[in-house]
Structure 1
Amino acid sequence: MMKRFLLFLLGATLAGCMQSPIEEVSEGITEEQLLEPIEKLSSDEFQGRSTGTVGEEKTVTYLVNQLKEYGIKGGMPDGSYIQDVPLIGQTTLEEATITIQKDGEEIHAFDYYTDFMAWPSNLEEEVSIDEAELVYVGYGIQAPEENWDDFKDTDVEGKILVVKNNDPSSDPDLFKGDTRLYYGRYGYKFEKAREMGAAGVLIIHTSPSAGYGWNVVANGWNREQFYLRDSEAVESSPTKFNGWLTKEVSTALFESAGLDLEEQLTAAESRSFEPVLLDGLSLSLDLRATYRQKDAQNVLGVIEGSDSKLKDEYAVFTAHHDHLGITKPIQQDSINNGALDNAAGVSAVLNLARGYEKLQPQLKRSVLFLFVGAEEVGLLGSTYWATHPTVHPGKVSGNINLDGMNVYGETKDIVLVGYGRNSVSDVIEEVAAEQGVEVKPDPHPDRGYFYRSDHFALAKQGIPAVFPNSGTEFINRSEEYSATVDSLQNANYHTVNDEINDYWDLRGMVQDVRLFFEAGYRILNAESMQTWRQGDEFKQKRLEMLEEVGGQ
């Protein structure tokens, strides 16, 4: 290894190059090198890379072969490349209808997929709800630290909860204002329903509150759903089903109870809100589901650090390799190719791996490349690694998670989800400033992106993590171009249209990946491990993990 590195330095010198080795290697991150894995992984051959399919198997094989080609060792304790993620797959049959009765007479029949989405809890094969009462519980949040309780003393056991999406945002002094917290995530709503003994829960969908349209809900939850076999989701609870309602259906439902939906949504912004029984209404629903056991797979590659004292500490780069697979055809196209989400992020991490391998003698800490599966079905691959880690979280310096990249051209800026929360953010900002790039915080904190990608699973274990997003100030483009890009991304997200298109310009991706390459290099060689800001929600967990390994 040392001989190869010395020859590399000699070659650079003979060529009259005055660049440092890291600059030389960084220049090897090119549009061509980035495009090749994206084209491969987003081709129809990979069938949309859905969890538990032939497409996933092909993806895993491709990633392992790429790492081997780069000379990168497997990241599992035995030197292999694959971590099996034990899952149970749930497929809900579509012939389901929600019927609403008023005073014993049916007044509404809502259709699966177009009007609502629902699936059994507790991995039940059959669920039957017969004329259960409905109660609107606002955001469905209990947060003692905010002196907030949407349930008050109302007994909701055996009832169907109708819940507003997101968390309160009208008061900047509550729930961090516009920033969505975990309280605003659908997972919290389902967990709270189980805790309160509800028979079921239906979240009211609106595009502004979710950050995406109904098509994302319908396509996402219509597919086979997966759960970790040892998770709470497989434990018995009184909640028989979880689900979503469209805003249109919700409006009709509330009107039938003599209520105005918009007024009720507004009322939920107040601490004084109390649950509202949808008086006279009841809900009936029959659901059936089938199950199978299937392992997803994480792919791990590792480059060992060169410093005898620091090589047992790691920086981790993550990217999820899965996508939505095959869904309902749109204009005869049923394959969700996932070019941007997330063949692009996978390509970025592959290129980082190839670059760092060339600099191995200069890396004090080790680096782990973690390509996780089952992200699209609930961050399950990253959650499994975080709870069954190959490296103790107290030995992980920091995480940069790449989920989607800038494929639309060079920008003057870059967005960091997690900006200012930890020192990983500081390192990226430092490098960006040297390169003339402005780092900005998430422009849509209300959408809760920090809790929607794989870095979240690592952050919950105390690992300082950030989630870079594309900038918006495009260089040498018209003022309308940014709006066009935003429109494209919204229209293509989680659809069959997520493919390489005529707007793609990978110069922006080259710029960003080189930035992360330099930032990662500094993290790997820093005197100390990365840290959370004082008062951050993950700071205490970090301290606990460091204590477990005898750190500070």
Structure 2
Amino acid sequence: MKRLIFLVVVCISLAGCIKSPIDQAAKSITEEKLIEPIEKLSSDSFKGRATGTEGAEKTVNYLVSKLKEHDIKGGASDSGYVQDVPLVGQKTAEDAIIQITKNGRTVRSFEYYSDFMAWPSNLAENVSIDQAELVYVGYGIQAPEENWDDFKEADVKGKVLVVKNNDPSKKADLFEGKTRLYYGRYDYKYEKAREMGAAGVLIIHTTPSAGYGWNVVANSWSRERFYLRGNDSMEQSPTKVNGWLTKESSRALFESAGLNLQEQLAAAESRSFEPVPLEGLRLNLDLEASYRNQDAQNVLGVVEGTSDRLKDEYLVFTAHHDHLGITKAVEGDSVNNGALDNAAGVSAVLNMARAYKKLQPQLKRSVLFLFVGAEEVGLVGSKYWASNPTVHPGKVTANINLDGMNVYGKTKDLVLVGYGRNTVSDQIQKLAEKQGRTVKPDPHPDRGYFYRSDHFPLAKKGIPAIFPNSGTNFIDKPEGYAETVDSLQNANYHTVNDEINKYWDLAGMVQDVRLFFDVGYRIINAEDMQRWQKGDEFKQARLNMIEDASSQ
């Protein structure tokens, strides 16, 4: 009996020392493994990884080589690693000037880059707007479900719309309060102007309403822009110009019409708002743009599942591999290295791909690692995949999108953009709480982050998607550290300063990536696919896609 007890004790002790395969795979995700791709992709030799450049080509080649190194199969339709995204590139000449006249006399002149940004919205080489009337249309929103119409049947054809950024947020029962909906995105403003037949549209920029400074607008929109080739709706658009106007220029514009900008911005918060003509003012603008056909690339890798019943269903991880490239020099530096945005997210997905490959015999569903291109020019790579999927959206259980990571140390919390909207959010929350961490919703719902990264085009196809963000309750850091991190992130976003710096501490990234890896493992092996919660805007699209997939 004593011998039997001894053997049992020994067996229990040995079992406690043997790590489970999931733990072993997770522990292969280390700081050293994570920093390697970040250092590589954010080095000056990759020239900022802008779409359509040598740096982008170099990035794609690097990603393919890493997938092959980890023995991960290609996930494109031809079983290769690359999905071409057919684009047309647009570069707008920077010598444009907006002239505002009154009674035939120029009263205001606004300069490109410093005062306004604009580009042809119909892919024309030359655009001329001559003596166009201007009308302020508040938020420029028509939302029947909210009984909201900023146009009030006004005829705005051939006119230039001046539009307030964001959507109404003063009342909790309107437009979900401070949560920015798609109505608040610039995409919606431009689409609505086209629908209404306007000649152009200028969005009034303020840092609070955009969630970023004018430097981000100027830096982003002055670069070469890319659109999906063959977009007939753009080429046939009655709208000639899309653009932005600084708050200072907007104030001057309104003053020229005898109006107070702040009063007009406040008036737009009411359902009873009616369009306000900028009486007596006319806008003149000539734009020139050059074009080229250029393909971007999505890079895809697959680890196939082993269950006969579930292996044709997929969990999709996304991370965009592009950044801003070369822009105007700041203190001699013109390379936008994009270390945090998004070499960090790419590294996280690469490391998880390597770790899942180690666990392949235990995976019931398959995993698709989708490194999308052309994100910085309007989520174009992910939009293209969503319209030309290599896996039927109705067969995708979920999407976890990694765009930026926690590179500043361990935290007691984690932020989820899309918190509570689907069961993927629930899975992350359950596992994080087991680790003693708190999961929080987006602290800036007014900035509309759910509509600003690559999970959004997949969500529109019905795929339950989540966008994790960094926590802010740092562990073992000095007082005021979170404020320092927040300041760094705001200052470095979309600038040449997005580089590895002295504050980086990848212990936090290890913590988060291992969490997402574990969550993914559970989703891959769950009995049922993930779903949107009742009442979510994407739930019906999900049901439609599942039905369509089952009929094929």
TM-score of the pair, normalised by structure 2? 0.97
Q: Which residue of 2 aligns with 1:227?
A: 227
Residue identity opposite 2:210 in structure 1: A
Q: Which residue of 2 aligns with 1:441?
A: 441
Q: Which residue of 2 aligns with 1:404?
A: 404
Residue 193 of structure 1 and its aligned partner are, at CA, apart by 0.3
* Residues 344-380 of structure 1: CA deviation (Å, up to 9, x unaligned): 0000000000000000000000000000000000000
- How far, CA to CA, are the matches of 1:230 and 1:261 in structure 2? 39
- How far, CA to CA, are the matches of 2:208 and 2:148 in structure 1? 23
Asked if 1:376 is matched to 2:373, the reply is no
* Residues 20-70 of structure 1: CA deviation (Å, up to 9, x unaligned): 110111111100000000000000010000000000000000000000000
Q: Which residue of 1 aligns with 2:254?
A: 254
Residue 121 of structure 1 and its aligned partner are, at CA, apart by 1.5
Q: Which residue of 2 aligns with 1:44?
A: 44
- How far, CA to CA, are the matches of 1:549 and 1:258 in structure 2? 58
Residue identity opposite 1:222 in structure 2: S
- How far, CA to CA, are the matches of 1:232 and 1:217 in structure 2? 26
Q: Secondary structure, in 3 states, of the residue corresponding to 2:17? A: coil
Asked if 1:86 is matched to 2:89, the reply is no
| Structure 1 residues 287-306: aligned runs within 5 Å | 287-306=287-306
Q: Secondary structure, in 3 states, of the residue corresponding to 2:466? A: strand
- How far, CA to CA, are the matches of 2:15 and 2:428 in structure 1? 31
Q: Secondary structure, in 3 states, of the residue corresponding to 1:405? A: coil
Q: Which residue of 2 aligns with 1:505?
A: 505
Q: Describe the shift of the 1:233–1:52 C-alpha distance in structure 2 as closer, same or farther (beyond 3 A).
A: farther
Residue 331 of structure 1 and its aligned partner are, at CA, apart by 0.4
Residue 235 of structure 1 and its aligned partner are, at CA, apart by 2.9
- How far, CA to CA, are the matches of 1:231 and 1:29 in structure 2? 42
Residue 477 of structure 1 and its aligned partner are, at CA, apart by 1.8
Q: Secondary structure, in 3 states, of the residue corresponding to 1:431? A: helix
Q: Which residue of 1 aligns with 2:419?
A: 419
Q: Describe the shift of the 1:122–1:426 C-alpha distance in structure 2 as closer, same or farther (beyond 3 A).
A: same
- How far, CA to CA, are the matches of 1:272 and 1:107 in structure 2? 31
Residue identity opposite 1:113 in structure 2: Y
- How far, CA to CA, are the matches of 2:285 and 2:14 in structure 1? 75
| 1:461–1:542 CA contact under 8 A, matched in 2 | yes
Q: Which residue of 2 aligns with 1:190?
A: 190
* Residues 292-346 of structure 1: CA deviation (Å, up to 9, x unaligned): 0000000000010010100000000000000000000000100000000000000
Residue 232 of structure 1 and its aligned partner are, at CA, apart by 5.2
Q: Secondary structure, in 3 states, of the residue corresponding to 1:378? A: coil
Asked if 1:143 is matched to 2:143, the reply is yes
Residue identity opposite 1:174 in structure 2: L
| Structure 1 residues 344-363: aligned runs within 5 Å | 344-363=344-363
Residue identity opposite 2:348 in structure 1: A
Q: Which residue of 2 aligns with 1:8?
A: none
- How far, CA to CA, are the matches of 2:525 and 2:230 in structure 1? 37
Asked if 1:63 is matched to 2:54, the reply is no
Residue identity opposite 1:384 in structure 2: Y
Q: Which residue of 2 aligns with 1:315?
A: 315
- How far, CA to CA, are the matches of 1:196 and 1:479 in structure 2? 52
| 1:133–1:283 CA contact under 8 A, matched in 2 | yes
- How far, CA to CA, are the matches of 1:78 and 1:165 in structure 2? 43
Identity of aligned pairs, percent?
Answer: 75
- How far, CA to CA, are the matches of 2:63 and 2:233 in structure 1? 30
- How far, CA to CA, are the matches of 2:148 and 2:37 in structure 1? 48
| 1:100–1:109 CA contact under 8 A, matched in 2 | yes
Asked if 1:387 is matched to 2:387, the reply is yes
| Structure 1 residues 165-184: aligned runs within 5 Å | 165-184=165-184
Q: Secondary structure, in 3 states, of the residue corresponding to 2:375? A: coil
Residue 435 of structure 1 and its aligned partner are, at CA, apart by 1.1
Q: Which residue of 2 aligns with 1:5?
A: none
Residue identity opposite 1:71 in structure 2: D
* Residues 148-183 of structure 1: CA deviation (Å, up to 9, x unaligned): 000001110110000000000001000000000000
Q: Which residue of 1 aligns with 2:131?
A: 131
| 1:140–1:151 CA contact under 8 A, matched in 2 | yes
Residue 209 of structure 1 and its aligned partner are, at CA, apart by 0.2
Residue identity opposite 1:529 in structure 2: M
Q: Which residue of 2 aligns with 1:153?
A: 153
- How far, CA to CA, are the matches of 1:358 and 1:414 in structure 2? 27
Residue 104 of structure 1 and its aligned partner are, at CA, apart by 1.2
| 1:227–1:233 CA contact under 8 A, matched in 2 | no
Dislocated runs of 4+, deviation >4 Å: 13-16
Residue identity opposite 2:53 in structure 1: T
Residue identity opposite 2:65 in structure 1: N
* Residues 227-252 of structure 1: CA deviation (Å, up to 9, x unaligned): 00133553311111000000000000
Residue identity opposite 1:398 in structure 2: A
Residue 77 of structure 1 and its aligned partner are, at CA, apart by 2.5
TM-score of the pair, normalised by structure 1? 0.97
Residue identity opposite 2:542 in structure 1: R
| 1:48–1:337 CA contact under 8 A, matched in 2 | yes
Q: Describe the shift of the 1:15–1:35 C-alpha distance in structure 2 as closer, same or farther (beyond 3 A).
A: farther
Q: Secondary structure, in 3 states, of the residue corresponding to 1:415? A: strand
- How far, CA to CA, are the matches of 2:537 and 2:310 in structure 1? 27
Residue 78 of structure 1 and its aligned partner are, at CA, apart by 2.1
- How far, CA to CA, are the matches of 1:258 and 1:400 in structure 2? 50
- How far, CA to CA, are the matches of 1:152 and 1:77 in structure 2? 48
- How far, CA to CA, are the matches of 1:71 and 1:306 in structure 2? 16
Residue 14 of structure 1 and its aligned partner are, at CA, apart by 9.0
- How far, CA to CA, are the matches of 2:319 and 2:232 in structure 1? 25
Q: Describe the shift of the 1:143–1:16 C-alpha distance in structure 2 as closer, same or farther (beyond 3 A).
A: closer
Q: Which residue of 1 aligns with 2:5?
A: none
Residue identity opposite 1:22 in structure 2: I
Residue 16 of structure 1 and its aligned partner are, at CA, apart by 7.9
Residue identity opposite 1:509 in structure 2: M
- How far, CA to CA, are the matches of 1:233 and 1:358 in structure 2? 46
Q: Which residue of 1 aligns with 2:282?
A: 282
- How far, CA to CA, are the matches of 2:427 and 2:257 in structure 1? 55
Q: Secondary structure, in 3 states, of the residue corresponding to 1:220? A: helix
| Structure 1 residues 197-236: aligned runs within 5 Å | 197-231=197-231, 234-236=234-236
Q: Secondary structure, in 3 states, of the residue corresponding to 1:335? A: strand
Residue identity opposite 1:277 in structure 2: P
* Residues 428-486 of structure 1: CA deviation (Å, up to 9, x unaligned): 11110111111100000000000000000100000000000000000112331101100
- How far, CA to CA, are the matches of 2:471 and 2:258 in structure 1? 46
- How far, CA to CA, are the matches of 2:549 and 2:334 in structure 1? 48
Q: Secondary structure, in 3 states, of the residue corresponding to 1:549? A: helix
Residue 190 of structure 1 and its aligned partner are, at CA, apart by 0.3
- How far, CA to CA, are the matches of 1:79 and 1:316 in structure 2? 16
Residue 17 of structure 1 and its aligned partner are, at CA, apart by 3.4
Residue 18 of structure 1 and its aligned partner are, at CA, apart by 2.4
Residue identity opposite 1:195 in structure 2: E
* Residues 61-96 of structure 1: CA deviation (Å, up to 9, x unaligned): 000000000000000132100000000000000110
- How far, CA to CA, are the matches of 1:474 and 1:413 in structure 2? 8
Q: Which residue of 1 aligns with 2:463?
A: 463
Q: Which residue of 2 aligns with 1:99?
A: 99
- How far, CA to CA, are the matches of 1:445 and 1:549 in structure 2? 33
| 1:121–1:233 CA contact under 8 A, matched in 2 | no
